[in-house]
Amino acid sequence: MRPPTSPSARPLDGVTSIKIKIGLLVALSILAAVVMLQVGRGAGVPAWLTLPVTLAAALGVTQWLARGMTSPLREMTAAAGRMATGDYSTRVTATSADEVGALARAFNTMSQDLATADEQRRQLVATVSHELRTPLAGQRALLENLVDGVVRPDDAALQTALAQSERLSALVGDLLDVSRVGEGAGRLTLEDVPVAELLGDAVQEAALSGRSVEVQTHVEPADLVVRGDRARLAQVAANLVDNAVRHSPAGGTVQVHALAEGATWSLEVLDDGPGFPADPTERERLFARFGVGDDSGGGTGLGLAIARWVVQLHGGTIAALAREDGTAREEGARGARVRVELPTRPTSRLMPVSAPAASTIAPPRTPPTPHPGEEASGTGATAYPASPSVIEAMFGRFWPEGGPRTAPLALGASIALGGVAAMVLPYRAFGLGTAMLLVAAGGLVLSRSVHRRSVWTWVSVALCLGLASLVVLRAAEWLTVLSLMVAAVLVTTALTDARSVLGMISGAASWVLSGVRGLPLLGRTLSAASRAPLLWPVVRTAAVSLVAFVVFGGLFASGDAVFGAWMDRLLPQIELADSVVLRSFVWFMVAGVVLAACYLALNPPRVEAVGVGRGRPVARAWEWVVPVGVVVALYAGFLVAQASAMWGGHEWVQRTTGMTYAESVHRGFGQLTVATALTLVTVALTVRKASTATTRDRLLLRGVLGTLCLLTLVVVASALYRMAVYQEAYGFTVLRVLVDAFELWLGLVVVLVMVAGVRLRGAWLPRAALLSGAAMVLVIGLASPEAWVARRNIERFEETGRLDVAYLSTLGADAVPVIQEGLPEDLARCAIGWAPGELVDDALSWNLGRERAMASAPWVVGAGGGPADGDPADGGPADGGPADGGPAGSGLDWPGCPAEVGGPIPTPPR
């Protein structure tokens, strides 16, 4: 029987109702979520960080409480499937006290009963085969000798044949009695039995096997007569002598001794074979059905089990002994020794005997069930459990279980990186420390990836390193966030080897889903780690010590000023309440994100299996030509209108539309961007539905879509021109530059679509589009968009005398050197709105953009660094600085700073 794996502690096993379990599960999960949410909010943790940690805490509590609630049902499903194939050895883990636990225990009882019935059936077949073999072999040998003329057909030979036939008849008649071995009862037909005659018949029957083994018998006294069931005692003697002869080497000797000892008599059979095991427990198992050994080798098979049954019917005992346990044996002799002790006058009543226990019956050999957390060996990987878990059933064939059985390196490194992030990231701006963490996490994930040798992976690595460098080179936080988002898409595409658009989207979503899909691997890893003798004691001790330090240290620090001052000097950068909470949230978040990425690298999903299929092309070409032709006609009409506006000039536009040319171009830019994106969707749908069976179909498809793409490129150029006119009229902003870049990237994608359309092969297109988009973000970051916008606005100020000071004051540190260099001192003071803030300033927060900003405008560094009372000698604005010594770098907060220079700046139309 295959025992169930020993379950770990299950917190809800004592609850006797599944309904109450579900209610407790929901209530405690909600309570955990509320507590985490309130702790994060009270400590000032940002909502974007509190929410995922809160959800993870709720899911963790749910996973912990629900452990084992449904596993018996899955185990029963798997066990029922095994039973259909004849395997009744599987047992279901039943530790809970609810209805599911009761069902599991009933299932185990049923499985045991079925196994017992199947075992009894096999025992009957084996018993018949074993008992019929010896007389049949004897008859065959005698008949062969008669046919060959070796033995004459005299009375002695025929009498021997008749005796064998009579034994066969008796065996057939005794089948019902043999089946009672399992029942443990039988009836004896008692008569006087000469022992010497009994042993002589057994020796004569064993001699028919033809083996060159000498059998020596010794009966004391020679005329010993005992009372018993002759046929059954003949079974015992024949089985013991036959086993001894078969297991003795050629030329060996079998000794049979019968000795009367008062009210009992004993029978010993000794041979020169390999002998019995030295372990008494193993020797006892020889008398069990299907015990160790077999009939063809060194085992004793069913013969000893039947012999024990007969001996017990007579009220005696039988034992297998080591050869050296006998008396008067030469030193070092080998062989087996079986000793039977029987009463000389047994009773004839029905005698109960003990049948071999079910636990002594050797089951069919099955591979050992591995402990959850064991690594698969190199010689043969252990198969995963046959019963699918809830998570495996949830993801199905899209994301099957794979990869290693445990991942201790990924888990330990993720926890370590989370701890480093908890010390580096809070209260510190993005900088060198952030970049180092990104590189370390990327290296860990790359080392775990199954696709790490792919060319696309290394191209993605190069781009990700470039995007990560922007964290150090540029101070704009929005640029850092944009770079990390693009890098995340590159990472998931490389880890999952996604090639299609839907595959890339699925790969990005799978990073989040890895937090759920990786729970089985996390559980196996933690289970394997729990067997380490020192790991968990050290972790528990450190955790308890840290909690004690935080709780008691905080209480004593707030209760005594002197102790509080000591704690401040001991931990100058740590506030024991809010800081610990924030750092804990960061630790959990970063460790979880890195661990999920490691799982995605170790066991990527089949993202390319996600798709909508090729689809059936339309039967007639005009079904797709007409809709696409409408779009082409609209594009052509729009371009005619654009040409008319360009030829008519500004006055014609104003007379026709009632708006200035700048207002009219702004009105259509957003629509043109959306139209460009929808054109790509139109091309994709057309390629999906249009037929390419014939050359004519392919030429028509290339011609129509090529025309549409060419017109789209013209519209892209028109949109870019519109934005240029608009920015000349209303000024440059970072958002307008990014929209320009996005439209330019859409135009590049259209060009790639045209290239793919030449051969109607576009499998490479999604990756090329992603690669070009990531490269564009990298170029934008290296070009420093905030500095570029500031420079263009200053150039426009030099040409027109107009400057939007209010907007310039919203730009960050990257624009400070350009503003300080390009504007007069007093105007630069007003236009610079960036200030370093109160974050930790050290080597880990170093950033080139902030460093250059502080070097070019040192007066923004110190609080109240502006000139007191507006002293011009201190470099303050011409009309005086703040009288109250306000914070430096506050831009328009300085009295006398204009929001606009050179007259009202035109307000962009909405």
What are 641-685's pLDDT values in tens digits?
777 666 555 555 555 555 555 555 555 566 777 888 888 888 888
221: cis peptide before it, omega within 30°?
Answer: yes
Give Cβ neighbours of residue 178 (< 8 Å, ≥ 6 apart). Answer: 124, 127, 128, 131, 306
Amino acid at 776: M
What is the DSSP secondary-structure string of 393-461? HHHGGGS---S-S--HHHHHHHHHHHHHHHHHSTTS-SSHHHHHHHHHHHHHHHHH-TTTT-HHHHHHH
Cα end-to-end span (Å), the chain: 78
pLDDT of residue 108: 85
Q: In angstroms, what CA-CA distances link 511 with 394, 490, 508, 592? A: 16, 12, 6, 11
Distance CA 832, CA 770 (A): 36
Phi-psi region of 114 (alpha: psi -120 to 50; beta: other; left: phi over 0): alpha
Distance CA 517, CA 511 (A): 10
The two structure tokens encoding residue 336: 């087996």
pLDDT band at 280; cut points 50, 70, 90: confident
| Cβ count near 593 (within 10 Å) | 21
Q: What is the tens place of the pLDDT at every residue in 521-537?
A: 888 888 787 777 776 67
pLDDT of residue 384: 35
Give the β-pairing of 900-901 and 185-186: unpaired
Distance CA 89, CA 466 (A): 58
Query: Which residue from 401, 365, 358 is spatially nearest to 518, judged by alpha carbons?
Result: 401
Q: What is the tens place of the pLDDT at every residue in 72-110?
A: 777 788 888 888 777 777 788 777 777 788 888 888 888
Q: What percentage of the chain has pLDDT greater than the value 70? A: 77
pLDDT band at 207; cut points 50, 70, 90: confident
pLDDT band at 888; cut points 50, 70, 90: very low
Distance CA 56, CA 52 (A): 6
Residue with tokens 């445990």: 406
In 576-694, where does DSSP find H-type helix?
A: 578-602, 622-657, 661-689
Does the pLDDT at position 374 exceed 70?
Answer: no
pLDDT of residue 265: 92
Query: Which residue from 792, 794, 673, 789 is spatially nearest to 740, judged by alpha carbons?
Result: 673
Phi-psi region of 837 (alpha: psi -120 to 50; beta: other; left: phi over 0): left
Beta bridge partners of 255: 216, 270
pLDDT of residue 541: 83
Top-confidence residue, 833 or 378: 833
| Cβ count near 618 (within 10 Å) | 13
DSSP single-letter state for residue 289: T
Q: What is the tens place of the pLDDT at every residue in 690-733?
A: 888 888 888 888 888 888 889 888 888 877 877 887 787 778 88
Distance CA 464, CA 487 (A): 5
Distance CA 306, CA 300 (A): 11
Name the maximum alpha-carbon separation found in the chain.
146
Query: 3-state class of 128 per DSSP?
Result: helix
CA dihedral of residues 25, 27, 30, 36 (deg, nearest 10):
-90
Does the pLDDT at position 361 exceed 60?
Answer: no
Helix axis angle for 734-759 and 661-689, nearest 10°, is 30
652 with 671: CB under 8 angstroms?
A: no
Give the β-pairing of 317-322 and 253-261: unpaired
Does the pLDDT at position 548 exceed 50?
Answer: yes
pLDDT of residue 185: 53
pLDDT of residue 663: 57
pLDDT band at 178; cut points 50, 70, 90: low
pLDDT of residue 443: 93
Distance CA 898, CA 174 (A): 118
What is the DSSP secondary-structure string of 452-491? TT-HHHHHHHHHHHHHHHHHHH---HHHHHHHHHHHHHHH
Does the pLDDT at position 208 exceed 60?
Answer: yes
Determine the average pLDDT of the residues in 236-245: 87
Give Cβ neighbours of residue 734 (< 8 Å, ≥ 6 apart). Answer: 785, 786, 789, 811
Helix axis angle for 195-207 and 230-246, nearest 10°, is 40
Top-confidence residue, 204 or 572: 204
72: cis peptide before it, omega within 30°?
Answer: no
DSSP single-letter state for residue 352: E
Give Cβ neighbours of residue 690 (< 8 Å, ≥ 6 apart). Answer: 617, 618, 621, 624, 697, 701
The two structure tokens encoding residue 166: 């009579």
Distance CA 686, CA 634 (A): 17
Does the pLDDT at position 254 exceed 80?
Answer: yes
214 with 201: CB under 8 angstroms?
A: no
Query: Whole-number mean pLDDT of the chain?
Result: 77
pTM of the model: 0.62
Beta bridge partners of 266: 259, 341
Q: In angstroms, what CA-CA distances link 234 with 27, 168, 205, 226, 278? A: 73, 13, 11, 13, 29
DSSP single-letter state for residue 895: T
Residues 13, 14, 20, CA angle at the centre, nearest 5°? 85
CB burial of residue 206 (10 Å; 0-12, 13-18, 19+)? buried
Does the pLDDT at position 284 exceed 80?
Answer: no
The two structure tokens encoding residue 822: 């390009």
Query: 3-state class of 89 per DSSP?
Result: coil
Backbone angles phi, psi at 743, to 5 degrees: -65, -40
The two structure tokens encoding residue 185: 């009862």
pLDDT band at 494; cut points 50, 70, 90: very high
Lowest mean pLDDT among 281-290, 507-516, 612-621, 730-739: 281-290
| Cβ count near 763 (within 10 Å) | 9
Query: Which residue from 729, 749, 752 is spatially nearest to 669, judged by alpha carbons?
Result: 729
657 with 648: CB under 8 angstroms?
A: no
Residues 899, 819, 471, CA angle at the centre, nearest 5°? 115
Determine the average pLDDT of the residues in 842-851: 88
DSSP single-letter state for residue 336: E
Q: What is the tens place of the pLDDT at every residue in 501-517?
A: 888 999 999 998 888 88
